[in-house]
Amino acid sequence: MLRVLGRRLATGAVTLLLVSALVFGLIHLAPGAPPGAADEGIRSLGAEATAELRALYHLDRPLHERYVLWLSDLSRGDLGRSFHDRRPVADKIAERVGTTLLVNGLSLALMALLAVPLGALAALRPGSWSDRIGGCASFALYALPVFWAAILLQMLFAARLDWLPLAGVRSQGWELLPPAARVADRAAHLVLPVACLSYGGIAYLSRFVRAVLVEGGLAESRRAARARGRSESGVVLFHGFRLAGVPLLTLAGFLLPALVSGSVIVETIFALPGLGRLFVEAAFQRDVPVLMALTLLTGTATLVGTAAADLTYAIVDPRVRRGKA
Amino acid sequence: MGTRRRRRQERARGPRVPSRTARPALVAALGLLALAASSCGAPDRPGRSREVRELLTHEPASFSLVGKSDYHTERLAALVTEGLVQFDPDLTLVPRVAESWEVSDDHRAVTFHLRDGVRWHDGKPVTAADVAFTVAQVRDPAVESRTWLPLFRDVAEVEVLDERTVRARYTVATPDFLEAWRVPLLPRHLAESGAELLTGGFQRKPVGCGPFRFLRHVPGEEIVLEANADYWDGRPRLDRLVLRLLPDQRTALRALVAGDLDLMVASWDLWREALDADRERRLASFVYYRTSVWIIRWNQAPESPLFRDPSVRRAMMLALDRERYVERMLGGLGRVAATTYHPDLPWTDRELAPLPYDPAAAERLLDEAGWRRPRPGAPREREGRPFRFTLLTAASTQQIVDHTAAWLQQSWAEIGVETTIEKLDWSVFFERLHAGRYEAAMSGLSTTPSPDQYELYHSTMREAGVNSMAFADPEVDALLERGRESFDPSERRAIYHRLQRRLLELQPVGCLMHFATVVLHDRRLRGVEASPIDYWRTTRGPRLWSWSEED
């Protein structure tokens, strides 16, 4: 068990290193180099000033040297400073990671809470009318583009009905409110973004759960239980978990990076100061240090997620434990 | 919806208490607050807070007032601090922190006398040493003062003569020297120097001598400023100014309609919706034209022979029905441009009409240049080579840019010229532009109130300036040089009028149109005045905004 873990960690570290080198190279290979030559504003400073600035940002060094520099800073826990505003990258991420974690965490939780019962319900009577209608609804939801749904939800619940706030993470004057009202205000701001982020996942996951359960013969087990006069719900629960548990855990492992990567569209429409927006802004600004840090973050989350999924596999499924995991 | 909206609008002006949740209790609390405010609140606006919430689409890159300067940092700096001089709405530079100044006979030195009683937000007086310190910071490349550094290029030294007198000496005499002294002043006793200015404590809590004090910045959410009661030119009429960050324009428009925002500039793609929103009873709008113009750069370098002939460039412009495009596609919110000179500036020759729409003349000019149609209706060619080129555009979030490019392509197809549109990411676009790796490129061009467009048109500015089209004309060069040496306004006007005629004739860049800036605001907000350099940049900026009682 420990050896499995150790090996995962070692390969994970190597993968991260490779990913970071690749991304570093790709950013610099992409046309429109980081600040300097292409930046109209910097050009207006004149040739001498431009050269001085490029030196300040180490842009005068060859690519591999810059990468090594970045790595050595990283090994000291220093993510560097943003090219765009010279603020420490760690600060920029720290002030935004909370929003993204909260919104994405809530939507993941909502997905899990709704998708499993919905999928199980559909799997009990595969091919029935309720299953078909549920299926159609899932596909429709899954196909619904987020940017459109977000705007419609805003128009209905915020602009027309005035039940929920339009955008942002809190109201103005929030700090003057009593604690309970503050929490309520934050919660109200989260409703629409979380709904937008989760409906597609709920639709997808419920179909996934249904497929796993139908294939595993949940309906048959239930029929058998009924024939034997045993508790139906107990069988459904037991078989449901046994069948869908492992695939769902794997999926959860893959969903972990989504927790930190943030959603550009939802964060932009609802004016949420999250990591998705930061990433896009950084990409447009060719803000290499911020891009590298965010890549590292998502990469780590991906590796941790898949490793965690593998380990839970090993715990849940004895074949994996003994075999060649 | 009616009652709900009214309720919300009343709330919108009240203390900003969130309301969507725990509604009954909050409504009650709001009632109490309103009562309290009306009994003891501001005399001219009982029950309403004197606060304006304005849209900000991007966070300023730096809060250091001069560092990393761009549109958004300038926006903040114009509120928090002030320069020695500033433009009034007629674009005349008038004294601000400087009370007066004298220019030496040879125009190579200027002495500023600072106004008595101008204080930093911490109470210390603004001194000549602060002015010298500010110039030193702006001239340090590590501060990355894109807007201001180039304007101080000809300054040889800045001397502090006494507490309130400062003298600048120039290496060359220029008639437009005063514009640089709009530079936002920094307090020497608080601000760091050099690269530290971008990272140190000052930029976390910038201090200036302007009409508003910096209160706080919540990253990704808002910047809050409050009135500076000690402002030398009178306390602002507002108590607070909140710059709200809403990255999505449509969300911002909905916030404005709902009363969660008081003022915004609508992007081009929102024009139609914005003007519809104007029909909402509580909104008002106005339109102005900034000193910017949409142009097509024609590459005239020897390695790109297509557009070296002025008559070909002229033919390309004659093929465009710009009046109709402005009317049909821009809803009238554009002005057809004659040259890169803004039509409302004193230096502009207003008698100069833009090139007309005359496709027959365009075809004739192309025929004469040797670009003929092998058969009627077929694409043009010369010596077996088809007239085919690529137009670069920068990828924008604004659809209007794509529409404009498509319209150009179609208009040119009608005179037998084949255009490919290549849409590039901003930074790639500028990289290609500056390297001269293009045949034609469309982009917006911002100009200043100064008539000096030397960097755009002078033949020596191919590398250093923005003349990436490698345009070279001896007469234009001579006029640009004379314009920089003339200190007599009427003589200067004559020089620039002649220059504009020459530019219209040679078409070094194709000037399409000036796009309007549409401002939407709560109709009770008074004092928002437009000018070709924006509604916030002149001496009559947000400090004179106020709320009116009538609805």
Selected residue of B248, B283, B460, B468 to mutate for chain A interface (largest A Cβ count, 10 A): B248
Tell me which residues of chain B, numbers 28 to 57, contact chain A at a CB-CB cutoff of 8 Å.
53
How confident is the model at residue A187, as a pLDDT?
87
| Confidence band of B354 (pLDDT split at 50, 70, 90) | very high
Of the two residues B123 and A28, the one the predictor is more confident about is B123
Q: Cα distance from A201 to chain B (closest Cα, Å)?
A: 24
Q: Which residues contact B540 (CB under 8 A, 6 or more apart)?
A: B88, B89, B527, B529
Give the tens place of pLDDT for each residue, A215-237.
777 777 777 777 877 777 777 76
Tell whether B28 and B44 lie within a shared domain: yes
Residues of B in contact with A176 (CB under 8 A): 15, 17
Bin B109: left if φ > 0, else alpha if -120 < ψ < 50, else beta: beta
**If we measure between CA atoms, which residue out of B254, B229, B230 comes closest to residue B244?**
B254
Among the partner residues B8, B26, B430, nearest to A38 by beta-carbon distance: B430
From CA A174, how far away is CA A181, in angstroms rounded? 9
Helix axes A179-215, A218-227, angle to 10 degrees: 80
Confirm or reject contact between B327 and chain A (CB < 8 A). no
In a domain, B122, yes or no: yes
**CB within 8 Å: B260 and A56:** no
| Confidence band of B40 (pLDDT split at 50, 70, 90) | very low
**CB within 8 Å: B144 and A169:** no
Could you identify the residue written with the tokens 């009317």? Answer: B327
Where are the alpha helices (H) located in A125-231, listed in sequence order?
129-143, 146-153, 179-215, 218-227
In a domain, B19, yes or no: no
For B382-385, the CB contacts below 8 A with 24+ separation are: none
**CB within 8 Å: A84 and B221:** no
Highest mean pLDDT among B331-335, B463-467, B470-474: B470-474
pLDDT of residue B360 exceeding 60, the answer is yes
| Confidence band of B3 (pLDDT split at 50, 70, 90) | very low
Look up residue B302 and give its two tokens. 């020897």
Look up residue B378 and give its two tokens. 């077929």
Tell whether B464 and B318 lie within a shared domain: yes
How confident is the model at residue A215, as a pLDDT?
78
**CB within 8 Å: B20 and A269:** no
Quick check: A222 and A232 in contact, CB under 8 A?
Answer: yes
Quick check: A232 and A120 in contact, CB under 8 A?
Answer: no
Give the tens place of pLDDT for each residue, B159-175.
999 999 999 999 998 89
Which chain A residue is nearest to residue B70, measuring alpha carbons?
A: A41
Tell whether B98 and B145 lie within a shared domain: yes
**CB within 8 Å: A85 and B62:** yes
Residues of B in contact with A177 (CB under 8 A): 17-18
Q: Cα distance from B243 to chain A (closest Cα, Å)?
A: 12
How confident is the model at residue B24, as a pLDDT?
39
Among the partner residues A50, A171, A284, nearest to B426 by beta-carbon distance: A284
Tell me which residues of chain B, numbers 146 to 165, contact chain A at a CB-CB cutoff of 8 Å.
146-147, 149-150, 153
Confirm or reject contact between B195 and chain A (CB < 8 A). yes
Tell me which residues of chain B, numbers 466 to 505, contact chain A at a CB-CB cutoff of 8 Å.
none
Tell whether B487 and B374 lie within a shared domain: yes
Look up residue A12 and give its two tokens. 């994970």
Quick check: B352 and B340 in contact, CB under 8 A?
Answer: no
- Least confident window among A62-71, B53-62, B148-157, B436-445: A62-71
Tell whether B106 and B51 lie within a shared domain: no
Q: Which residues contact A78 (CB under 8 A, 6 or more apart)?
A: A90
Of B144, B173, B202, which marks where a domain is finished? B202
Its domain, for residue B384, covers 292-515
Q: Residue range B463-484: average pLDDT?
A: 90
Tell whether B423 and B492 lie within a shared domain: yes
Residues in chain B: 551
pLDDT of residue B197 exceeding 70, the answer is yes
How confident is the model at residue A40, as a pLDDT?
54
Residues of A in contact with B72 (CB under 8 A): none
Question: Residue A85: what residue type?
Answer: D
Quick check: A36 and A50 in contact, CB under 8 A?
Answer: yes
Q: Residue range A163-181: average pLDDT?
A: 80
Q: Residue range A259-267: average pLDDT?
A: 80
Read off φ and ψ for residue B54, nearest 5 degrees.
Answer: -115, 150
* CATH code of the domain containing B144: 3.90.76.10
Q: Cα distance from A117 to chain B (closest Cα, Å)?
A: 30
Confirm or reject contact between B3 and chain A (CB < 8 A). no
Degrees, nearest 5: CA angle B524-B528-B533? 160
How confident is the model at residue A284, as a pLDDT?
80
Question: Residue B363: what residue type?
Answer: E
pLDDT of residue B255 exceeding 90, the answer is no
* DSSP class of A88: B
Residues of B in contact with A32 (CB under 8 A): 425-431
| Confidence band of B190 (pLDDT split at 50, 70, 90) | very high
Confirm or reject contact between B398 and chain A (CB < 8 A). no
* DSSP letter string, B18-68: --SSSHHHHHHHHHHHHHHHHHHS-TTSTTS--EEEEEESS--S-SSSSTT
From CA A203, how far away is CA B243, in angstroms rounded? 39
How confident is the model at residue A82, as a pLDDT?
87
Q: Cα distance from A80 to chain B (closest Cα, Å)?
A: 12
Is residue A129 classed exposed, middle or buried when 0-12, 13-18 and 19+ CB atoms within 10 A define those classes?
exposed
| Confidence band of B179 (pLDDT split at 50, 70, 90) | very high
Tell whether B349 and B489 lie within a shared domain: yes
Number of neighbouring beta carbons within 10 Å of residue A301? 17
Q: How many CB pairs under 8 A join A and B?
A: 169
Could you identify the residue written with the tokens 């919660």? Answer: A187
Q: Residue range A298-311: average pLDDT?
A: 83
Is residue B480 classed exposed, middle or buried when 0-12, 13-18 and 19+ CB atoms within 10 A define those classes?
buried
The model carries a pTM of: 0.82
| Confidence band of B36 (pLDDT split at 50, 70, 90) | very low
* CATH code of the domain containing B528: 3.40.190.10
Q: Residue range B466-481: average pLDDT?
A: 94
Q: Tell whether the torsion through CA atoms of B83, B205, B245 and B262 is positive or negative.
A: negative
Q: Cα distance from B350 to chain A (closest Cα, Å)?
A: 30
Selected residue of B1, B20, B33 to mutate for chain A interface (largest A Cβ count, 10 A): B20
| Confidence band of B510 (pLDDT split at 50, 70, 90) | very high
Among the partner residues B68, B220, B255, nearest to A96 by beta-carbon distance: B220
| Average pLDDT score over chain B | 87
**CB within 8 Å: A87 and B254:** no
Residues of A in contact with B244 (CB under 8 A): 168
Tell whether B237 and B184 lie within a shared domain: no
**CB within 8 Å: A32 and B431:** yes
Quick check: B471 and B320 in contact, CB under 8 A?
Answer: no
Structural domain boundaries in chain A: 95-321
Number of neighbouring beta carbons within 10 Å of residue A152? 12
Degrees, nearest 5: CA angle B140-B145-B148? 100
Largest distance between two CA atoms of chain B? 86
Residues of A in contact with B16 (CB under 8 A): 171-173
Confirm or reject contact between B17 and chain A (CB < 8 A). yes
pLDDT of residue B185 exceeding 70, the answer is yes
Residues of B in contact with A167 (CB under 8 A): 246, 248, 251, 255
Tell me which residues of chain B, numbers 498 to 537, contact chain A at a CB-CB cutoff of 8 Å.
none
How confident is the model at residue B32, as a pLDDT?
38
Q: Residue range B342-366: average pLDDT?
A: 93
Tell whether B348 and B472 lie within a shared domain: yes
Give the tens place of pLDDT for each residue, B294-338.
999 999 999 888 999 999 999 999 999 999 999 988 888 899 999
pLDDT of residue B465 exceeding 60, the answer is yes
Q: Residue range A140-158: average pLDDT?
A: 88
| Confidence band of B16 (pLDDT split at 50, 70, 90) | very low
**CB within 8 Å: B199 and A86:** yes
pLDDT of residue B501 exceeding 60, the answer is yes
Tell whether B507 and B528 lie within a shared domain: no
Residues of B in contact with A288 (CB under 8 A): none
Residues of B in contact with A270 (CB under 8 A): 251
Of the two residues A300 and A220, the one the predictor is more confident about is A300
Residues of B in contact with A180 (CB under 8 A): 22
How confident is the model at residue A310, as a pLDDT?
77
Q: Cα distance from B193 to chain A (closest Cα, Å)?
A: 14
| Confidence band of B27 (pLDDT split at 50, 70, 90) | very low
Of B185, B202, B219, which marks where a domain is finished? B202
Among the partner residues A38, A163, A269, nearest to B427 by beta-carbon distance: A38
pLDDT of residue B67 exceeding 80, the answer is yes
Confirm or reject contact between B276 and chain A (CB < 8 A). no
How confident is the model at residue B1, as a pLDDT?
37
Number of neighbouring beta carbons within 10 Å of residue A299? 19
Q: Residue range B118-125: average pLDDT?
A: 96
Give the tens place of pLDDT for each residue, B202-239.
999 999 999 999 999 998 889 999 999 999 999 999 99
Look up residue A266 and give its two tokens. 């939802």
Q: Residue range B350-371: average pLDDT?
A: 95
Confirm or reject contact between B254 and chain A (CB < 8 A). yes
Percentage of chain A beyond pLDDT 90 is 5
**If we measure between CA atoms, which residue out of B278, B252, B260, B355 comes closest to residue B310?**
B355
Q: Cα distance from B372 to chain A (closest Cα, Å)?
A: 37
Which chain A residue is nearest to residue B51, measuring alpha carbons?
A: A172
Among the partner residues A40, A99, A181, nearest to B430 by beta-carbon distance: A40
How confident is the model at residue A116, as a pLDDT?
80
Degrees, nearest 5: CA angle A305-A308-A311? 150
| Confidence band of B5 (pLDDT split at 50, 70, 90) | very low
Tell whether B454 and B335 lie within a shared domain: yes
Of the two residues A10 and A321, the one the predictor is more confident about is A10
How confident is the model at residue B26, as a pLDDT?
40
Quick check: B242 and B214 in contact, CB under 8 A?
Answer: no
Among the partner residues B25, B141, B220, nearest to A52 by beta-carbon distance: B141
Residues of A in contact with B70 (CB under 8 A): 41
**CB within 8 Å: A47 and B428:** no
How confident is the model at residue A178, as a pLDDT?
81
Which chain A residue is nearest to residue B56, measuring alpha carbons?
A: A271
* CATH code of the domain containing B462: 3.10.105.10
Confirm or reject contact between B221 and chain A (CB < 8 A). yes
| Confidence band of B342 (pLDDT split at 50, 70, 90) | very high
How many CA atoms within 13 Å lie on the side-chain side of A5? 6
Percentage of chain A beyond pLDDT 70 is 90
Q: Cα distance from B18 to chain A (closest Cα, Å)?
A: 5
Quick check: A144 and A151 in contact, CB under 8 A?
Answer: no
Among the partner residues A37, A163, A271, nearest to B248 by beta-carbon distance: A271
Q: Which residues pair with B204 in a beta bridge?
A: none
Residues in chain A: 325
* DSSP class of A158: I
Tell whether B33 and B69 lie within a shared domain: no
pLDDT of residue B137 exceeding 90, the answer is yes
The domain A95-321 is placed in CATH, from the list 1.10.10.10, 1.10.3720.10, 1.10.760.10, 1.20.120.10, at: 1.10.3720.10
**CB within 8 Å: A173 and B15:** yes
pLDDT of residue A37 exceeding 70, the answer is no
pLDDT of residue A33 exceeding 70, the answer is no
Total of domains in chain B: 3
